């Protein structure tokens, strides 16, 4: 081991021009004897960051300044690791002259000068960064708690592993204990109502593929007792892998059973929409089921179009709800006038309408949809602002017409029409 007294003092270490530059650095720089860990030179930040003078820092070593290195045996192991790497990174704590600790990130390299080996350590003060990370972790926990309490449940899905975390509130909502419900996707998907499952999974898949800005669905899910609850479920991809694929999705679930039951009861009171005079959603659903049975029996195709008024919220916000109601009535009349008398036009909800066309194949349904779109543009193009619609078209043929799949296909086509710029018709793939 080299004699500490024989080591060069800072005036004998040949750093004349470089020393001026080193003193301008924001990070502390130490020149260290590898054998003893003694500091043989330091820049201005090296001694100022420790509350020392320039001469005082030279009376110290890594062992006296670094709280996480204890004794020469440990230093020898660290020195071997430094020699064996291009740049050795170490997180530790420096002792400040006033008694407190300074959190540091130290990057050390090794070199020779005039035949003598040295370590050059660059120490960055990360005290503020560490404090911010601790504060961020604390705030994240507080936010998670607040969200968890404000909703009926949270979920966190690690896509690559398939692990799905269910919050205790979500488990309680479904009647399970904190240690129940296997943390896998199938635990959730298997309990979604069969009539809703294909639609919900399609919406989730489209979000993962980047076709939807977020995942949002309203559906029925079975609780532990076998009863179904209506829930409003929404989520979003929050992390992506190096290949751009989603790796983590988080979301929240709200029990909307009471609202849904009231909505269903109100819908059951009437078969027509009070505002437009068209068939309401309940009547449209019954008609769709009856036409499915008819088409299956007679081996006929069944066409379906989902129609949405573009930017309808802006009409309500700018011109008021009375103007919005007038637009809904006019659009309903135009759609009704553009289809056959045997076709059903239904106000599905909000600014959405559907057209159910028996004995209509996909290409025919696309023509009908384009006719409707052009009719709306012609009739309401002079409205301020001009009114346009987006339409998603799907059709089903025998054998076997799946109502859920048909509606999901039309809904996805509608979403593509809106995502592509609105005022257009999109056809579901065959």
Q: Give residue-wise pLDDT tens across range 34-62.
A: 999 899 888 888 888 888 888 888 878 88
Q: What is the mean pLDDT of the chain?
A: 86
Confidence of residue 1 (pLDDT cuts 50, 70, 90): very low
In the sheet that holds 246-255, the strands lie side by side as 163-166, 153-158, 246-255, 228-240, 215-222
**How far is 189 from 139, CA to CA, in rounded Å?**
32
The pLDDT, as a whole number, for residue 3 is 46
Least trusted range by pLDDT, from 90-94, 136-140, 141-145, 398-402: 141-145
- The 10s digit of each residue's pLDDT in 164-204 is 999 888 888 898 887 788 999 999 999 999 999 999 999 99
**pLDDT per residue as tens digits for the range 26-41:** 888 999 999 998 998 8
> With bands split at pLDDT 50, 70 and 90, how would you rate the model's confidence at 430?
confident
pLDDT at 419: 94
Q: What is the pLDDT of residues 93-122, one digit of tens each?
A: 888 888 788 888 889 999 998 889 999 999
Convert the pLDDT of each residue in 321-375 to its tens digit: 888 999 999 999 999 999 999 999 999 999 999 999 999 999 999 999 999 999 9
Share of the chain above pLDDT 70, in %: 90
**Residue 2's pLDDT band (cuts 50, 70, 90):** very low
Distance CA 18, CA 15 (A): 5
Taking only the tens place, the pLDDT of each residue in 243-277 is: 999 999 999 898 999 888 888 777 666 778 889 98
Which band of pLDDT confidence, cut at 50, 70 and 90, is reported for residue 70?
confident
* Stronger pLDDT, 321 or 308, i.e. the higher one: 308
Using the predicted structure, report yes or no on whether residue 5 has a pLDDT greater than 50.
no
Cα–Cα distance between 29 and 53 in angstroms, integer? 14
pLDDT at 128 over 80: no
Q: How far is CA 29 from CA 106, 107, 112, 119, 251, in A?
A: 9, 10, 17, 10, 47
CA–CA dist 255, 28 (Å, integer):
56
């Amino acid at each position: 081991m080299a004699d500490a007294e024989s080591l060069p003092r800072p005036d004998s270490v040949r750093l004349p021009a470089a020393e001026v530059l080193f003193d301008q650095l924001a990070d502390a720089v130490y020149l260290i004897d590898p054998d003893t860990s003694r500091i043989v030179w330091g820049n201005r930040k090296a001694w100022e960051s420790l509350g020392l003078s320039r001469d005082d820092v030279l009376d110290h070593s890594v062992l006296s300044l670094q709280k996480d290195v204890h004794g020469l045996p440990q230093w020898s192991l660290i020195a071997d690791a430094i020699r064996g790497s291009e740049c050795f990174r170490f997180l530790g704590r420096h002792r400040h002259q006033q008694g407190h600790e300074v959190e540091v990130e130290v990057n050390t390299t090794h070199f020779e000068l005039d035949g003598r080996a040295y370590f050059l350590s660059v120490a960055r003060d990360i005290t503020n960064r560490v404090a911010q990370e601790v504060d961020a972790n604390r705030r994240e926990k507080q936010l998670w708690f607040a969200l968890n309490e404000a909703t009926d449940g949270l979920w966190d899905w690690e896509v690559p592993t398939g692990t799905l975390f269910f919050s205790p509130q979500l488990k309680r909502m479904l009647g399970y204990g904190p240690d129940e419900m296997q943390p896998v996707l199938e635990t959730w998907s298997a309990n979604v109502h069969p009539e809703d499952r294909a639609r919900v999974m399609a919406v989730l898949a489209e979000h993962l593929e980047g076709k939807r800005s977020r995942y949002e669905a309203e559906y029925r899910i079975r609780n532990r007792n076998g009863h179904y609850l209506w829930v409003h479920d929404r989520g979003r991809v929050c992390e992506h892998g190096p290949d751009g694929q989603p790796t983590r999705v988080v979301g929240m679930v709200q029990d909307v059973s009471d609202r849904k039951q009231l909505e269903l009861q109100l819908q059951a009171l009437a078969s027509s929409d009070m505002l437009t005079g068209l068939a309401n959603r309940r009547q449209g659903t019954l008609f769709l089921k009856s036409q499915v049975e008819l088409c299956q029996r007679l081996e006929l195709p069944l066409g379906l179009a989902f129609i949405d008024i573009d930017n309808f919220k802006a009409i309500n916000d700018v011109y008021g709800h009375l103007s919005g109601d007038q637009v809904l009535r006019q659009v309903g009349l135009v759609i009704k006038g553009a289809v056959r008398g045997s076709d059903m036009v239904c106000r599905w909800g909000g600014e959405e309408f559907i057209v159910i066309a028996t004995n209509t194949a996909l290409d025919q349904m696309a023509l009908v949809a384009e006719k409707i779109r052009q009719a709306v543009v012609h009739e309401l193009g002079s409205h301020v602002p001009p009114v346009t619609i987006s339409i998603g078209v799907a059709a089903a043929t025998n054998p076997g017409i799946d109502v859920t799949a048909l509606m999901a296909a039309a809904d996805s086509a509608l979403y593509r029409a809106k995502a592509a710029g609105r005022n257009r018709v999109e056809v579901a793939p065959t």
